Amino acid sequence: MDVLALEAKNVNGSESEKKSSSRPRPKPKPPKKPKRIVYFEVEIIDVKTKEKLLLLDKVEPTSTILDIKALFHKSYPKWYPARQSLRLDPKTKCLRDEEVLQTLPVGTTASFYFSDLGPQLTWGTVFLAECVGPLVIYLMFYFRLPFIYAPKHDFTASENWVVHSACLCHSSHYIKRILETMFVHRISHGTMPLRNIFKNCGFYWCAAAWMAYYINHPLYTPPLYGQQQVNLGLYIFLFCQVGNFSIHVALRNLKQPGSKVKKFPYPTKNPFTWIFWLVSCPNYTYEVGSWLGFSVMTQCLPVALFTLAAFVQMSVWARGKHRAYLKEFKDYPTLRSPILPFIL
C-alpha cells in the first residue's frame, strides 16, 4: 500500500509540474523610464540700467531663490546672497530665499530683476549694538562722569533711592535683551542693511541719554506720591519683564531647529503665556508695560514720551504680524487682538 501511495504521489507531482511548466510565465515589467527634467533658463537683469548681467543655463526646477543667488554670486563675488534682491518685476516685492523656481509664475525662461541692497549686517549684531549703547550711556549719566553736569557733581551719587532703582531697572532690561539675543532668540531674518544701524542705534542711544540726563540730574525730584508710586512702578516693571522673557522662551520653543512646520504661538503651562489667548504679540504688550511701569516709577516726561513712541512703533509691528497670522493660518483664533486685548 505504501508503494502504491508513493507512486500515486509521484504521478500527481509530475502532472502538476507539467501543468505549471505549461502555464505562460508573466512578462517582466519594463523598467520605468526616468522622468524628463525640464530645465530653466534664468536671466538676471539690472533693475536700474535694464542691462542683462547674467544668463544661467540648465537651472533645475527645484532650485530656490537662494540657489540662484549663490550662482549669481559666483559670477559677481562682491554681491553675496544677503546683499542681493531679486524680483519678477521692478515694482513688485523681493522674492523670498525659500521660494522655489518651478512654483513661480514664470515660463522655462525666467527673468529676475536684481538690485543691490548694500553692505549687510547680521540682525544679532544690530540687536547687540542697540542694547549695549543704551546700557553704557545710561551708566555714564548715573555715575555723573565729567562734562555732563556741573563740575561739583562729578562722580557724585544721588540721595534719592528711586534714582538707584531706576538704574537697576534700566540696566537689567538691556542686559536681559543682550542675553536673549545671544541665547534665546532664533532670528528668522539673516541680515539688514548697514545704513539702518545708524537709524536704529541713534533712536535707542539718544533716548537713553535723554532719559538718563533728567533722572540722574542733581535737581531731580522724586515722584509726587513718594515711595508708594515708586513701588507700584517697580512691581509693574518687574512683572512685565518676567512676562516678556516668558513669551520669548515660548516663541523659541515653538519651532524646533531644522523643522519646516509652521505653527502659530499658543499658551503654555507658564501663566505669563496665557495672554496668548487674547493677544497675538504679547512680547510687545509686556515690553510696553515695562516702560509704562518705568514711567510711573520715575515720573519723568522723557520716559513717558519714549514709552508712547515705542507703543506706536510696536503697534505697527504687532498689527503686521497679526495680519500675517490670519493670512497664513485658517484656524487662527479670531478672538486675539494684535497688542491690546479687545482694543488694538
Domain count of the chain? 3
Co-location of 232 and 168 in the same domain: no
Distance CA 209, CA 281 (A): 28
Query: Domain containing 255: what range?
Result: 222-344
Backbone angles phi, psi at 205, to 5 degrees: -70, -45
Is-contact 307 288, C-beta < 8 A?
Answer: yes
Distance CA 290, CA 281 (A): 15
pLDDT tens for 140-193 read 999 999 999 999 999 999 999 999 999 999 999 999 999 998 898 877 666 778
Co-location of 176 and 61 in the same domain: no
Residues 6+ apart with CB under 8 A from 269: none
Co-location of 145 and 182 in the same domain: yes
Co-location of 60 and 92 in the same domain: yes
- The answer to the question of residue 96 being in a domain is yes
Is-contact 212 142, C-beta < 8 A?
Answer: yes
Q: Which amino acid is at 75?
A: S
Distance CA 253, CA 279 (A): 18
Distance CA 29, CA 124 (A): 57
- Per-residue pLDDT band for 24 (boundaries 50, 70, 90) equals low
- The answer to the question of residue 7 being in a domain is no
Co-location of 243 and 189 in the same domain: no
Average pLDDT over residues 65-86: 91
Cα dihedral 204→300→167→282 (10° resolution): -60
Predicted model pTM: 0.79
pLDDT tens for 103-144 read 898 888 889 999 998 888 887 788 888 999 999 999 999 999
Q: What is the structure's pLDDT at 11?
A: 47
- Cβ burial, residue 54 (10 Å; 0-12/13-18/19+): middle
Pure H helices in 255-300:
282-298
Let me know the angle formed at the C-alpha of 215 by 288 and 229, rounded to the nearest 5 degrees.
60
